[in-house]
Chain A
Amino acid sequence: MAQRIDVKDLDVFYGDFRAVADVSMVIEPRSVTALIGPSGCGKSTFLRTLNRMHEVIPGAHVQGTVLVDGVNLYDREVDPVAVRRQIGMVFQRPNPFPTMSIAENVLAGVRLNNRRISRSDAADLVESSLRGANLWKEVKDRLHKPGSSLSGGQQQRLCIARAIAVKPQVLLMDEPASALDPISTLAIEELIAELKNEYTIVIVTHNMQQAARVSDRTAFFNVTEAGEPGRLVEMDDTRTIFSVPSQKATEDYISGRFG
């Protein structure tokens, strides 16, 4: 289910502007990788290239390779739609479909696969996904209410339930808790710790404590000045990054906010 991701010499462009340069990293299966770095250094940009969501933005393109279990995501024969069905994404702002009920939201991705699932299978899947996202207890009595009737934190967990309902191999999260209160944040962090047993998770966060708490490996991105591309400064075990980083820039960034 979980798969290893191999990024090699990746450049990302918006039109002529090179936003991210020279990224190479390995993301291990069944682990949580945190991407940290100052605003504008290209974390979101890089994350979106991992399931080809960058292609949604006009003019955005990449150079380099991303191997998922040995297959290059950017190969001509690879269908971006198929990629996104295997590599799920959770966005910074919760985005449940407002026209769908809570249950329909969870099933949205499954229905896309054109799988005709029976009513009872669908109900089971809704329950297991919502349980997986720690939301079941709160919504089990109102599965047919609109998804937008939930609180922000609940909506975000609904989005996670929607993402894991299709049983992806990798889950990408772009600041999933940045719009949430501490309790919802904690719920999401606990959830990430559980999901790690089954999925490969990459999470972007501005919250150093969060990165330290949830991740196994941490990658620090930096950008020297506006107009320059963002680069991967270093990547290491989270504990190492937060105690004895090998680069001065990493130490500055972490201590600036951390100590």
Chain B
Amino acid sequence: MSGQRLQAEAEPELAPAPLSVRGGGHDRAGRVFRWLATGSGVLILAVLAAVAGFLLLEAWPALSASREDLAAISWIPDDGSLLGYVGPLVFGTVLAAILALLLAVPVAIGIALFISHYAPRRLADVLGYLVDLLAAIPSVVYGLWGGLWLAPKLQGVWGWLSDNLGFIPLFEGPAATPPRVMMTVGVVLAVMILPIVTAVSREVFLQTPRLHEEAALALGATRWEMVRMAVLPFGRSGVISASMLGLGRALGETMAVLMILSPGLTYSWALLMAGRHQTIAANIALQFPEANPLGVSALIATGLALFVITLLVNMAARWVVSRRAAFSGAN
């Protein structure tokens, strides 16, 4: 741009050329695109602001209500503290999501790498297709499967864990029967987000420039060393994005948690004991049908908390990705 202008000043007779180019059909398309892009960006911001505004507005009665009024709601603790109510829910929500992520991401990376760099072509195609298919299954199906089929099978495993590793606070016993506990939720959520995290990671790993893979191989890297030198560093930010996608799903998952977890409002690390945890989304679904107006408002306040968590998680992910942007391979 500035180069063009400079030239136009130095040689006035050339000035019309850039002008006529600017008026041409190319630039009209460019302008339309710019408006579309800007418009969509603004629209997203507007929707985000509208959601935040709605949540604030609707949560306000509960946020400003007196303790006595809140305590009158049956499922709010007797001290009537809204923070005392939201706190354990936030704890449970984040715990479930992190547990799911810890279980799912390493497995997802493994499967994605197997598909992208180890499996023979034919097998890789089939597996890739299968993973995409699994990613499209609605979460309620995973919930049903987890609650009805998987949970009973996990009972023995949890029992063993609490018997043998019970000295670790996380596995403190006795393990509940039936295992309607946080650990089961974590496993089911992990299975639920596994396909999407795998699918996105695989896509990213496949994008590794051949140039970098060959650079590693030519130095005498084995396949695994090549993966470590070229593929994983290149895919790092993509895997983080994929994990955040999975985390978002886990944070908001309602039906699976509702069907599995026996709820409770405590800050407990005991993953194998029932009646200790609850997540925000499942709690809203559970209490909403019987809530009075103030109750609804209190539930929306918990929804506001979920909204904030999601925003924070995304910002954190962005920060992690940008911190090493110079080394990302995008340049």
Contacts and interface: CB of A to CB of B under 8 A. Distances in A.
Interface of A: 51, 53, 56, 58, 81-86, 88-89, 91, 93, 95-101, 108-109, 112-113, 145-146, 148-149, 159, 162-163, 166
Given A146-B326, A148-B331, A88 B219 contact: yes
Nearest to B213: A56
Contact of A84 (B121, B220, B328): B220
A98 B331 contact: yes
18 contacts: A56-B214, A84-B217, A84-B219, A85-B220, A88-B219, A97-B229, A98-B234, A98-B329, A99-B324, A99-B327, A108-B216, A108-B229, A112-B220, A112-B225, A113-B220, A145-B326, A148-B327, A162-B219
Nearest to A86: B220
A102 B87 CA distance: 47
A162 B221 CA distance: 13
Given A82-B220, A93-B211, 19 more contacts: A53-B214, A84-B218, A85-B219, A89-B218, A91-B211, A98-B328, A99-B233, A99-B234, A99-B324, A100-B233, A108-B216, A108-B219, A109-B219, A112-B229, A145-B326, A146-B326, A148-B327, A162-B219, A163-B219
Contacts of A108: 216, 219, 229
B16 to A, nearest CB: 35
B218 A88 contact: yes
A146 B327 contact: yes
Contacts of B121: 58
Contacts, number: 85
Chain B interface residue bracket vs A: 20 to 34
Interface in B216-243: 216-222, 225, 229-230, 233-234, 236
A81 B220 contact: yes
Contacts of A83: 220
A221 to B, nearest CB: 21
Contact of A95 (B214, B220, B221, B324): B214
Nearest to B219: A109
Contacts of A51: 218
A98 B218 contact: no
A82 B331 CA distance: 32
Nearest to B233: A99
Contacts of B329: 98-99, 148
B215 interface: yes
A70 B212 CA distance: 32
Interface string B165-197: 000000000000000000000000000000000
A99 B220 contact: no
A252 to B, nearest CB: 34
B218 A99 contact: no
Contacts of A97: 212, 215-216, 229-230, 233
A109 B329 CA distance: 19
B215 A159 contact: yes
Contacts of A82: 220
Contact of B222 (A53, A81, A109, A163): A81
B216 to A, nearest CB: 8
Q: Give the 3 A-B CB pairs with smallest separation, nearest first.
A: A85-B220, A99-B233, A98-B329
Interface centre among B214, B215, B216, B326 (most CB of A within 10 A): B215
B219 A91 contact: no
**Residue picked from B215, B218, B221, B330, most chain A C-beta under 10 Å:** B218
Contacts of A145: 326
Contacts of B209: 95
A162 to B, nearest CB: 7
Interface in B282-331: 324, 326-331
A95 B327 contact: no
B126 to A, nearest CB: 17
Given A146-B327, A148-B329, A98 B212 contact: yes
Q: Which one of B327, B328, B329, B330 has the highest number of Cβ atoms from chain A below 10 Å of its Cβ?
A: B327
Contacts of B230: 97
B219 A166 contact: yes
A58 B179 CA distance: 49
A109 B221 CA distance: 8
Given A97-B212, A97-B229, A91 B218 contact: yes
A159 B215 CA distance: 9
B220 A98 contact: no
Contacts of B216: 97, 108
B235 to A, nearest CB: 10
A233 B229 CA distance: 39
A117 to B, nearest CB: 15
A112 B211 contact: no
B217 A53 contact: yes
A99 B215 contact: no
B195 to A, nearest CB: 27
Contacts of B234: 98-99
A85 B327 CA distance: 26
Given A146-B326, A146-B327, A148-B331, A95 B219 contact: no
Nearest to B217: A56
Contacts of A166: 219-220
